[in-house]
A and B are shown apart, each in its own frame.
Chain A
Amino acid sequence: MHWGQIKTLFIVCFLVLNVFLVKQLLDRQQEEIIFIPETSREEELEFNIKGLSNLSEENFTAPLIYTQNLNYNKEAEAGLDELSKQQIVVIDDYYLFSRFDEPVAFDFEDQESDLGEYVLNGDRYSYWGELESARMLVFFQQIEYPIFYNQNAILLIQLNADGNMTQYIQTSLTTAGEPAEERSLIKQYDAVYRLYHHSNALETGDTITNVSLGYHNFVSLPNGEQLLNPTWDIQVNDNAHHFINAIEGHNYPQKNYFFQETISELVKLLEQSESDQREFYHLEDKPEELLSTIRQALVGVYHNIVEVDLE
């Protein structure tokens, strides 16, 4: 055989070999995509849950936030002095109870009206909802995003039958230490995916009506320090809220008795605090009278919530 023919034979052989190798390489790259995510489980989610098309495709980032309770007496004394037409008592430095001298009309619907006029840093709280049949409005404190269901970052405003503000209770968190670095968060779709597949919270036919970012904390240190984790609030059928940790993706158990427990603890604080634990601002009534009025109104709210729960 001539050398020329041998070369031709080799060329054909190597061509075939190269085609095979290219195919192998392409197959391997394909494999990576096949495993993530599991297609059938995605399909199952899309088949059973509505509203997925409204979810944002964006990649979000948010930092973890280290916080401490705001000490009203040490850090906000001047701010409290400026608030007018109300009597304030701060218990244990962190819990602020205030009673308006006269009911205050306030338009919560109006974007222009400034809650900060009546409540210390009132503009840093976002409306969450109303406690059914108790005429109490719930606001969550915001540090960039709202802090969900946190007894130390809440504003509860009580209204009278005319819808005017009569009294409120407030707690606040302040950031502690240097701001932490931004962390990339799981996508909204992945949060819903995890909620559907890793908990029994969603049922076939449910609609995801809104997904928003906030912060959540489950355990605090004895000195009050908290570590707030970025959390997706997944709203289902316009009412139920489910919370998914936006970094790790695990779901938080529901806090079904949060308001009941919070108000019961606030009532206990009012009843059991000693005089050296209380600090008054703009006091006009007798201290015991003021405490008793606030307490009675709160007890009324508590009973209304319990009744609604029993129903």
Chain B
Amino acid sequence: MKGENLKTILLVLLVFSSLLLTMAIWNHQPNFEMTRDEEDLVDPQIEAGQKLARLDVLKPLYIIQHDNSVEKPIGLSDKSSEQELFNSIVDYSLYNFSTFNLDEEWWNGIDDWVEIVFSTELPSETIYDLFSIDQGVSIPSGMYNRIVIILDHEGEYQLLFQNDPESKVIGASVQNYGRVAEQLDGYFEQGKTITYEVYESSRGTDIYLPNEINPNVLLFSYTDIPIDPFQNFLFSTPSIVRSARTTDGNTIFIDGTRELTLESDRISFTNQTNEQKVSDYELTYYELFDQVQNFINTHNGFTFEQPFSYFLSHLEITPQTNKVEFTLSYNGVAIFSDQAISQISVAWHNQEVYQYNHPLITLVEQRGIAREAASLPDAETVIEILNSESYHKSAIYDVILGYRVREQVGGQGQVYELIPTWYVKGINGWNPLIIPSETTGGDNSALGTD
């Protein structure tokens, strides 16, 4: 009997110990050392900001339809229908990707096509994001800034990803091609369209300038974005940061190695210790885009309200720097500014932020129309200007009718103006069209040169 009692006690002990061990495994927490102080664990997100997926920022500047039986190419007059069209295009199922040199003779035989033009060269990996393609499908590496959908072609490839400086393209086949071509034609036949003037860029590709322009200057109210979240995520220890005012009214924050300058409507940040690119590993364009997008998303850095949005407008890798820029758009129309209040730009070195510029205002509600832009030439005049002496030696890669944003001058304040303005993309990115002196005066005067 005594032996049985011992067995019972042993069994009870074993049952309890197994329960305890199970609990211990469940509750096991890795004992990593916390390197930050409690006071520095502050919420680093911008309350009014939001996250954008890669697809959300891959937006075109414009979409054009060519039909050689018609004199001029056309596009949808309403920018929101153009966005709708783009959204339907990225729903296509693509397959059979391949890279080849574009044969001029073959290309000349094509009469009817749709062209989608982007602001910057994009790496071919973004095709996975745009068209929701399975990662198992192989897409040749390369860059593109135009997508061409051929509408009257029976060949193997009906969709081309082209890059202006190169003759090599990435081709793809479209599933249900017949229906897709019909649907695309339908969009342009049923929708309200405008014609475009064609101008040859410095790279020999076509640039399209709309013939119908809306000269209305729009007024918008705005809200301020607080500086605190920026301070909290840009400095590793926000509690040690000191600040002082400069003579021109800005405030500078420092922690001994990083510097954040606060101007009335924007911030600029520099991490001085990350100036040099020293990392052995060079990022690809896609990794750069992805890392910077994640960096901005981490703190809800895309600050806008519908129908405004941000699109990827510049992607650059040089031996000195890696740069990514996102530009604000209103109903799909790009907004530029002299004071960088409509651009988020990031210089990214060694997989960390080196410089970061961000607006501190969010345009909110339209407050009506102020007036008509004082000097807004039509497409034909713009082409004349581009052919004139003033652009004789300048590279011209693209031209669009965008908005220039600025605080209303002479008004009661509290509003920003969106002024329709022609912008020319040259070696230094997008700059306002320089209108020769005989036609100047008004909104475009006093602008810098390219």
Contacts and interface: CB of A to CB of B under 8 A. Distances in A.
Interface of A: 4, 7-8, 10-11, 14-15, 17-18, 21-22, 24-25, 28-29, 31-32, 36, 64, 66, 180, 198-200, 216-223, 225-229, 245, 247-248, 250-253
Select the residue from A31, A222, A226 with max chain B CB neighbours within 10 A: A222
A219 B244 contact: no
B22 interface: yes
B272 A219 contact: yes
Contacts of B11: 7, 10-11, 14
B275 A248 contact: no
B28 A28 contact: yes
A191 B32 CA distance: 20
A267 B30 CA distance: 59
B259 interface: yes
B278 A31 contact: no
Contact of B31 (A10, A32, A247, A250): A32
Contacts of A248: 236, 257
Given A14-B11, A15-B14, A248-B236, A220 B254 contact: yes
A253 B276 contact: yes
A14 B276 CA distance: 61
Interface stretch (B2-10, B108-116, B221-229, B393-401): B2-10
A226 B257 CA distance: 10
Contacts of B21: 18, 21-22, 25
A219 B258 contact: yes
A17 B21 CA distance: 10
Interface string B30-51: 1110000000000000000000
B446 interface: no
Contacts of B242: 66, 221, 225, 227
Contacts of A218: 256-257, 272-273
Contacts of A253: 272-273, 275-276
A7 B6 CA distance: 11
The dominant DSSP class at the A interface is mixed
A177 to B, nearest CB: 9
Interface residues of B, number: 42
Contact of A227 (B254, B275, B350): B254
B243 A28 contact: no
Contact of A7 (B7, B18, B275): B7
Given A4-B7, A252-B257, A253-B272, 11 more contacts: A11-B7, A15-B14, A21-B21, A21-B22, A31-B30, A32-B30, A198-B278, A222-B247, A229-B255, A229-B257, A251-B273
Q: Please list the 7 inter-chain residue pairs (A to B) with the smallest Cβ-Cβ separation, ordered nearest first.
A: A14-B14, A21-B21, A221-B244, A227-B256, A229-B256, A219-B259, A218-B272
Contacts of A245: 257, 273
Contacts of B273: 218, 245, 250-253
A216 B375 CA distance: 54
A248 B244 CA distance: 24
B127 to A, nearest CB: 34
A220 B256 CA distance: 7
Interface in B93-128: none
B28 A221 contact: no
A18 B14 contact: yes
Nearest to A14: B14
A242 to B, nearest CB: 12
Interface in B246-292: 246-247, 252, 254-259, 272-276, 278-280
A251 B240 CA distance: 19
B68 interface: no
B409 interface: no
A228 B8 contact: no
Contact of B240 (A18, A64, A219, A220): A64
B381 interface: no
A4 B244 contact: no
Contacts of A17: 18
A219 B254 contact: yes
5 contacts: A198-B350, A199-B278, A218-B272, A219-B254, A227-B254
Nearest to B255: A227
A251 B349 CA distance: 14
A25 B24 contact: yes
B193 to A, nearest CB: 54
Nearest to B244: A221
B70 interface: no
A217 B242 CA distance: 13
A28 to B, nearest CB: 5
Contacts of A226: 256
Contacts of B272: 218-219, 253
Interface string B206-220: 000000000000000
A229 B254 CA distance: 12
Nearest to A228: B256
A148 to B, nearest CB: 12
A32 B278 contact: no
B245 interface: yes
Contact of B25 (A4, A15, A28, A31): A28
A17 B25 CA distance: 13
Contacts of B30: 31-32
Nearest to B24: A25
A84 to B, nearest CB: 38
B10 A25 contact: no
A222 B252 contact: yes
A168 to B, nearest CB: 27
B387 interface: no
A251 to B, nearest CB: 7
A225 B246 CA distance: 12
A228 B242 CA distance: 12
B183 interface: no
Nearest to A223: B244
A4 B4 contact: yes
B17 interface: yes
A219 B256 contact: yes
Given A18-B17, A66-B242, A7 B4 contact: yes
B17 A200 contact: no
Interface string B330-368: 000000000000000000001000000000000000000
A32 B30 CA distance: 6
Contact of A250 (B22, B257, B279): B257
B7 A221 contact: no
A74 B376 CA distance: 60
Nearest to A36: B32
A197 B196 CA distance: 55
B257 A11 contact: no
Given A22-B21, A253-B273, A225 B240 contact: no
A227 B276 contact: no
Contact of A14 (B15, B237, B256): B15
A250 to B, nearest CB: 5
Given A7-B11, A222-B245, A217 B25 contact: no
